[in-house]
Amino acid sequence: MTKIINEQLEVIDLFSGCGGLALGFQNEGMNIKSGMELDGSAANTASYNLHWKHGVDNEHLCGDVTLANGNDFANYNKPIVIGGPPCQAYSMAGRAKLNSLGEERHVFKDSRGALFQDFLRIALELNARAVVMENVPESVNYNGINIPETVCEILTENGYNAIWTVLNSADFGVPQIRERVFVIAIKKEMGNIEHLPEPTHKRPDHNFRTMNEGRFASFSQTKYFTFPLPAKESLPKWITVKDAISDLPILFPVSTSVYKLHNQELTLPYQSPPQSDYQELMRSGVRIDGVSGNGFRNTKRDFKIFEQMAANDNYRDAHDIAMKMLAKECIKKKIKAKTHPNQYEVLKKSIVPPYSINKFLTKWKKLDPHKPSHTLVAHLGTDTYSHIHPWEPRGISVREAARLQSFPDDFYFNCSMTEAFKQIGNAVPPLLSKAVATALRKNLGEN
């Protein structure tokens, strides 16, 4: 999928994660020179896939961007600086987690909320010809501060043309509804921002609106916000979950199947030839009839619940299913809650998940095969209840998560299953990134 590298467009990738943002730029033919990521496992994944497997003696450094400076990335010709400063301080899930940990971990005391400043500091030290920063939509209101608007102001004061916008991954061929803020900036003497990322797919329902699309009117009151381009009517419809994963190996067909923990490097054969253009694209770099990353979690108690869940069912539905299963087992074993309280509690614990239907409602969801996935998040590293497989009674596998993020099948996660899920959930979808890189190239006057 990678084009011939144009040596003039060198890229430095900060807060890189496993390299999703950089991969899109690489696939647009740009030269990923280096990067930096605090998580050693993610830095290793990025280094392998972006450099080493191509025989390139570069690497993504494992380091703290707050302690770095331009000298760590010296000898580059006005590089493009890209990155996604950690979003935990901005995201709704991250804010809730931090606030629950006490006053000293309150969201507005989280140092990660200011990491964009270090990102900009290094970009300016490198005299970057262009800057691309990605983050969550919640960053538009961090303690009353609009982070992307602030970033654009700083860049403008330092000689850049800058805008920010909100892009939905599904519009760019990713089988996932995932909205993210992008800041795009170019040195004034090097180009104007006349081109925005062009959608490759259209929504099947013209009346469907995401939460953030409903906020575009208020965003437009800011100086630097730019509306994303609408999808052309002639485009194909959004990629669905079925379009994305139906050719991947069958791993656990029924709830009574024997669980196997597949090693991350183990290659299993595809269950069929490509069934869609998307599958063809994901398999284009694979030279054998098989794919790695087939690990999934052994949630033994819940396999039977998953099996009875319907598409789009959430935890309340799962809890109802479990309670009905418990009732049947009580009748079968002649156990009653009032007369056999201890036995009843033991049986209940073995069947019914112990979570509140009020607090845990959205943490479980079964994928709809006929729609794009909902947003993948880093919490996949803890469990995969948020993305239950649409026709097998289990959580999604590492490779299935990667497919939903548009990582190609030759992108290897040479790490633990937990680390791989976290890296994928944190990543920028490469197909979305490529659309941003294509627009940036046009704005820089490159063909």
Would you mind telling me the total number of residues written for the chain in this entry? 447
Strand locations in 66-129 (E): 80-83
**Is 189 inside a domain boundary?**
yes
Q: Which of 79-83, 99-103, 174-178, 309-313 has the lowest average pLDDT? A: 99-103
Please state, in angstroms and rounded to a whole number, the distance separating the CA atoms of residues 95 and 399. Answer: 29
**Is 67 inside a domain boundary?**
yes
Q: How many CB atoms lie within 10 A of CB 349?
A: 12
Please state, in angstroms and rounded to a whole number, the distance separating the CA atoms of residues 383 and 387. Answer: 9
**pTM higher than the cut 0.85:** yes
Relative to beta strand 179-187, strand 80-83 is unpaired
Longest CA pairwise span in the chain (Å): 82
Q: How many CB atoms lie within 10 A of CB 370?
A: 12
**Is 19 inside a domain boundary?**
yes
**Is 121 inside a domain boundary?**
yes
Question: Which pLDDT does position 108 carry in this prediction?
Answer: 34
Place of tokens 């006490």: 102
Place of tokens 């970033």: 151
With cut-offs at 50, 70 and 90, classify the pLDDT of residue 61. very high
Place of tokens 């289990």: 394
What CATH number does residue 99 fall under? Answer: 3.40.50.150
Q: Calculate what percentage of the chain has a pLDDT beyond 90.
A: 84
pLDDT in tens, 109-166: 445 458 999 999 999 999 999 999 999 999 999 888 999 999 999 999 999 999 999 9
pLDDT in tens, 182-214: 999 999 999 999 999 999 999 998 888 998 999
Residue 245 has pLDDT above 50, yes or no: yes
Tokens of 237: 């419809």
Phi, psi torsion values for 395, nearest 5 degrees: -75, 165
Domain that holds residue 435: 6-238+428-443
Question: Which pLDDT does position 96 carry in this prediction?
Answer: 45
Choosing from 87, 152, 330, 415, the catalytic residue is 87
Residues 6+ apart with CB under 8 A from 20: 405, 407, 427, 428, 429, 430, 433
**Is 373 inside a domain boundary?**
no
**Is 269 inside a domain boundary?**
no
**Is 423 inside a domain boundary?**
no
Question: Which pLDDT does position 110 carry in this prediction?
Answer: 42
pLDDT in tens, 70-104: 888 877 878 999 999 986 555 444 444 444 444 54
Please state, in angstroms and rounded to a whole number, the distance separating the CA atoms of residues 399 and 367. Answer: 15
Average model confidence (pLDDT) for the chain? 92
Residue 333 has pLDDT above 80, yes or no: yes
Residue 265 has pLDDT above 80, yes or no: yes
Please state, in angstroms and rounded to a whole number, the distance separating the CA atoms of residues 222 and 21. Answer: 26
pLDDT in tens, 355-391: 999 888 889 999 999 999 999 999 999 999 999 999 9
Identify whether 87 is a catalytic site residue: yes
Is residue 166 within 8 A of residue 216, CB to CB? The reply is yes
Is residue 73 within 8 A of residue 126, CB to CB? The reply is yes
Q: What is the DSSP string of 41-60?
A: HHHHHHHHHHTGGGT----E
**Which amino acid is it at 91?**
S
pLDDT in tens, 4-26: 444 569 999 999 999 999 999 99
pLDDT in tens, 226-244: 999 999 999 999 999 999 9
Is residue 349 within 8 A of residue 151, CB to CB? The reply is no
**Is 76 inside a domain boundary?**
yes
The structural domain count of the chain equals 1
DSSP-assigned beta bridge partners for residue 61: 36
Q: What is the DSSP string of 313-326?
A: -BHHHHHHHHHHHH
Question: Which pLDDT does position 89 carry in this prediction?
Answer: 56
**Which amino acid is it at 112?**
R
Question: Which pLDDT does position 107 carry in this prediction?
Answer: 36
Its sign, for the CA torsion 334, 338, 342, 348, is: positive
